Amino acid sequence: MTTNLSGKSVIAGIGATKFGALPGRSTISMNVEAIRKALQDAGVEKDAVDALWVKCPTSKFELMYGQKIAEATGLQPRIGGVWDQGGASNIMMISYAAMAIEAGQCEIAVICFADNPKTGSAASYSRPRGDDALYGWFATLSSYAMIARRHMGELGTRREDLGAVAVASRRHGAQNPNAQLRKALTLDEYMALPPMVAPFCRDDCALVSDGAGAVVVMSAERAKKMGVKKPVPILGFGHGQTSWEVAQRPDMTSTQAKIAAETAFKMAGLSRKDIDVAQIYDCFTITVLMTLEDYGFAKRGQIGDFVKGGNIEIGGELPVNTSGGLLSETGMPGMQLIHEGVRQMRGEATLQVKNAKHCIISNQGGVMHTHASLILGQ
């Protein structure tokens, strides 16, 4: 006997700092600002919050980091903590909050993330991978490039297909006044860029950014009682963990994103054709192509045809990353995608998709080690 939680919880508020370089700001300070703004957006008094989930900064792991955020916000949560699943953490924490609320363990949860790799240290992105430094095996982007090359060789994906993802995020980000990189990119410009770690060039890679984001989650019933102005229902979520290092994965070109999406669609009682807009984790261009394939928006090996000709840009069949994603808005690992999903469902996005009723959001972490999907409605 299972309970379907679809629509039981809502995202009641969102808040973020500026994106880009925020010199002198600690991650704790940025988290507090994002939380303050999210609570204001929801119209919730801080003292009503009884749960706090935090994603630890990528650039610096700190023991008991969640307790530091609780102290800085003057909270003594009933439940919560730090979730260590990389960029998949934010959606995962939102789903744990929804489950905990329904189980009576808490009533109003805050989920937040902050990091400052741009003005602080970005060393975690270029570290050696595992025990293979002697082979020159360095940096996160190289592992994603390894996956991209396999995808190209096995399934016929071309650099133009990777480029279509960068072009879409950059076009959308250029129109977002809060985006860190507001410079549109043409496919010709993309194709002319020199390789960095081939098959990737610079513009296949996420930005490095300072900033924080937070969301407030509560039951739909509570939001109604409190008069929350624009609650966005959480219709579905699902997780999947691919877990193994890239070199050890028997299948390099598909991940447990498939399981995550299946779980989320089943919970929401929806299918791919019900999705009007998507925010797909674009730490690297290949991630968007593989996620869309694993989510079933294109058959395996046919993603190039799906993304070409502006099909994932505003006005296309499935607008993706309408505020610019990690490639253009901010390199923040995933919270900004949730915020844009909320704005699309509220009807207040800068690049609003007309009549959009359902948005799917993906978060993923490590080198596609972890994945989480979230479906929002109205």
Partner 1 sequence: MNATVQTATKPKATLPDPDINEVSKQYWDALAKGKLTFQHCRKCNNNWLPARGECPRCLEADWAWHEASGKAKLISWVVFHRAFHPAFEERLPYNVAVVELAEGPRMITNIVIDDAEKLVIDQPLTFVPAEEQGHGIARFKPA
| Contact footprint for partner 1 (CB under 8 A) | 126, 128-139, 142, 145-147, 149-150, 153-154, 194-200, 246-248, 252
For the CB of residue 246, give the shortest distance to partner 1 in the complex, in Å: 7
For the CB of residue 366, give the shortest distance to partner 1 in the complex, in Å: 16
Q: Give the DSSP H/E element, type plus range, for residue 39.
A: helix 27-42
Q: Give the DSSP H/E element, type plus range, for residue 259.
A: helix 257-268
Helices 140-155 and 285-294: crossing angle, nearest 10°? 50
For the CB of residue 302, give the shortest distance to partner 1 in the complex, in Å: 18
For the CB of residue 250, give the shortest distance to partner 1 in the complex, in Å: 8
For the CB of residue 84, give the shortest distance to partner 1 in the complex, in Å: 21
Q: Counting beta carbons within 10 angstroms of the beta carbon of residue 142, is it exposed (0 to 12), middle (13 to 18) or buried (19 or more)?
A: middle
Of 148, 156, 157, 125, the residue nearest 138 (C-alpha): 125
Output 202 or 229, the one with its CB closest to partner 1.
202
Contact by Cβ (8 Å): 26, 52: no
How far, CA to CA in Å, does 175 sit from each of 36, 46, 233, 329?
26, 33, 27, 10
Output 64 or 198, the one with its CB closest to partner 1.
198
- Specify the length of the chain in residues: 378
Output 140 or 219, the one with its CB closest to partner 1.
140
Output 73 or 157, the one with its CB closest to partner 1.
157
What CA–CA distance (Å, rounded) separates 61 from 86? Answer: 11
Output 47 or 131, the one with its CB closest to partner 1.
131
What CA–CA distance (Å, rounded) separates 377 from 300? Answer: 27
What CA–CA distance (Å, rounded) separates 319 from 134? Answer: 42
Output 153 or 347, the one with its CB closest to partner 1.
153
For the CB of residue 243, give the shortest distance to partner 1 in the complex, in Å: 11
